[in-house]
Structure 1
Amino acid sequence: MTNLPDRPGPSASPEMRAGDADRDRVAQVLRDAAGDGRLTLEELDERLDAVYAAKTYADLEPLTRDLPAPGAAPAPAPSGAAAWRPLQGAPSWTGGIGIMSGFLRAGVWNVPRVFRAFAFWGGGKIDLRDARFEEPETTIRALAIMGGIDIVVPEDITVHVKGLGIMGGFDQRASGPGVPGSPTVVIRGLAFWGGVGVKRRKSSRQKKRDKELRPPEDD
């Protein structure tokens, strides 16, 4: 089983020159592997450097030898906290402040036990869809005064929203259980003449799994 692109012709050899499309496809395999937690960000950077320096199929093959091939049956979802464990080398922030400005916390990042967000005449976004969690339970303390904070949580984690809105709104609709073993996110705080919105969206991991499980279309 290999992650390399199909080689053109039965007599193709490892010494055949690789093209830009070949390198791009291998690079995508590596990015997917990092998103699944199979590679650290440092390993991803090292392998991507090697991908774009590769000249032949033989140069590309070792870079994905220890990874599952695209289109293979998806492995069972890891149990417990393993699916959301912290990723070595990923950034970690303890908070975000938007005062007449904005902040964004998104992508692959390690979320601490407590995250504090503050917006005053400004805004902020906290996107947890591809985040990793340092503890089984995370508390987000959000304070929005004449400003707004948007929080995006993946569909498969447990969420408890316990905030208060005064002449503003603190969205409670995303509260609910996740899958067994998922982390818990507790969102507390206050919205005064402002708003805190909480929405559930599919993570990259969920979208990838849905795509892998989708039956092939008939020609």
Structure 2
Amino acid sequence: MEPPPPPEMRIGDRERREVDARLQEALADGMLTLAEYDERAALCWAARTRSDLNALIVDLPEPPPSEPTVALETAAPAAPAAPDSGMLGRAIGGLVTAAVIGSGIFVGIQVLSADDGASVFGSKTVNVGSGQQRVEVGMMFGSVRVIVPDDVSVRPSGTVVFGSTNCNEACRTGPNLREVAVEADGAFGSVSIMRQSEFDRAAITDRNRDRDRDRDWDDDSDDDSDDD
């Protein structure tokens, strides 16, 4: 009887950040829709093994190879490595673990106390009214989309641990724009802040892409039927 295969090694936040960066690039290049990015980003920060992450980027092209860096001849020689100390390493590891646990408890409290909406293991859309001046949202292993009016300039704040806050067009300042404070707290997910017109454009793009995809599928089905 063959022994069972060894368990798959777990991954850490460095691998999750790398995959999330690739997903953001795919969103910016139009390879992913906003809804697809939100779904994959939530799964990315909840992933535990490399196979979990690979499933999220298996249909995306490989990033271009980075150019090799050339060391300068005048660079100072590297300092000798400090002697390894097991006790010091364990002490630093304990401090880091305590800091992560403490920040997770703090963020969890902030998420649960968000006044305008929170997402836990899912996605949520929060629409900001014309008279609102402050918005509080939270997410944990999920994604939140905040839609603000077109006459608003957003001032983001809050704490997002092991995740991202995206605010491109909505955070631009300009004349005749009123300021709205958006406090976003959370961990292992993403927060997207968009103006209404930006959201509408993205929705139209998503619908057109889905329509083209369905049309291509129907054409392929018709070709298969003709072959038969």
Normalization by structure 2: what TM-score? 0.33
Q: Would you tell me which structure has more helix in proportion to its own residues?
A: 2
> In terms of Rg, which structure is larger?
2
Alignment TM-score, normalising by the size of structure 1? 0.34
Report which of the two has the higher share of strand. 1
